Amino acid sequence: MDAWTLVLLSVLTSAAIPLCLSDPNDEACLTHLSESLQDPNKSLQNWTKTSFANPCNGLTSYLQGATCNNGRIYKLSLSNLALRGTLSPFLANCTNLQALDLSSNYLSGSIPADLQSLVNLAVLNLSSNRLEGEIPPQLALCAYLNVIDLHDNLLTGQVPQQLGLLVRLSAFDVSNNRLSGLIPASLSNRSGNLPRFNASSFEGNKDLYGYPLSPLKTKGLSVMTIVGIGLGSGLASLVLSFTGVCIWLKVTERKMTLEEGKISQLMPDY
């Protein structure tokens, strides 16, 4: 073996190394995600088993919507592709993920709390889907989050006040869901120089109340008014029917006594 062969060999092996260094976590993440998604419009043509084993070639990826950095999946942008199905909890295995954008699809099911292990996640955009269940408070553990956009879904429960702990958060939108309860001041009235989120972040949730939306009182009053009207009219009709029955009883009683009188008049005395 001469020197040139050695040089050639080392060049070949060093070139081959980045291609062979697939990450088992990314592979698990992509495999399970593709299994949990349905793609009726066939937008994800290159999302095949063989590409999951080796999704990155330096910065580029042949997987639609995927961006790589240092051989790891770093961004997933699969917005507006008519995707259906659910979010696999194995998304959490894409541990280098910095941005996850699955907005404007038809995704259902809940937001997996497992996303908490995405410690590098800065952008989470799941807006305009059919996601239900609660917003996992564990998202507060993704310390780098600066965008949480969950608007236009079917999310229920409260807005976790823990999310206010995310000091980098600069965009937060949970409008048009089915959320309820008091809006946490940790988001609407943040301390110091942290950006505060106004009504546009919270509107369109029937049972969400408190600053910057309307306080509970107006809402409570209207509910009480409805209850009051219901109870009042119920009571009134009860009283009315009672009086009716009483009058009827009185009348029949009088008739009876009159009749009794007549009868006793007709009866011969012994």
Ligand X SMILES: *[C@@H]1O[C@H](CO)[C@@H](O)[C@H](O)[C@H]1NC(C)=O
CB contact at 8 A, 190 and 196: yes
Alpha helix locations (H) across the chain?
A: 3-20, 24-36, 49-53, 185-188, 216-266
Q: Of the candidates 182, 211, 213, 219, which one interacts with ligand X according to CB under 6 A?
A: 211
Residue 223: partners with Cβ closer than 8 Å, 6 or more residues away: none
Q: Of the candidates 18, 22, 28, 85, which one interacts with ligand X according to CB under 6 A?
A: 28
The dihedral built from the CA positions of residue 113, 115, 120 and 126, taken in this order, carries a sign that is negative
CB contact at 8 A, 156 and 184: no
| Residue 213 touches ligand X, criterion: CB under 6 A | no
Q: How far is the CB of 90 from ligand X (least distance, A)?
A: 6
Q: How far is the CB of 104 from ligand X (least distance, A)?
A: 5
Tokens of 194: 């942290």
Q: Of the candidates 1, 20, 24, 193, which one interacts with ligand X according to CB under 6 A?
A: 24
Instruction: Give first-to-last CA distance, the chain, whole Å.
Output: 150
| Residue 171 touches ligand X, criterion: CB under 6 A | yes
| Residue 103 touches ligand X, criterion: CB under 6 A | yes
**Binding segment (CB under 6 A) for ligand X, from list 21-29, 70-78, 131-139, 241-249:** 21-29
Of residues 37-96, those binding ligand X (CB under 6 A): 41, 46, 62, 64, 79-82, 92-93
| Residue 198 touches ligand X, criterion: CB under 6 A | yes
**Between 195 and 227, CB nearer to ligand X:** 195
CB contact at 8 A, 163 and 172: yes
CB contact at 8 A, 203 and 183: no
**Between 127 and 153, CB nearer to ligand X:** 127
CB contact at 8 A, 100 and 91: yes
Q: How far is the CB of 4 from ligand X (least distance, A)?
A: 32
Tokens of 131: 């996601």
**Binding segment (CB under 6 A) for ligand X, from list 2-10, 20-28, 160-168, 232-240:** 20-28
Contacting residues toward ligand X, per CB under 6 A: 24-25, 28, 41, 46, 62, 64, 79-82, 92-93, 103-104, 125, 127, 147, 149, 171, 185, 189, 198, 200, 211
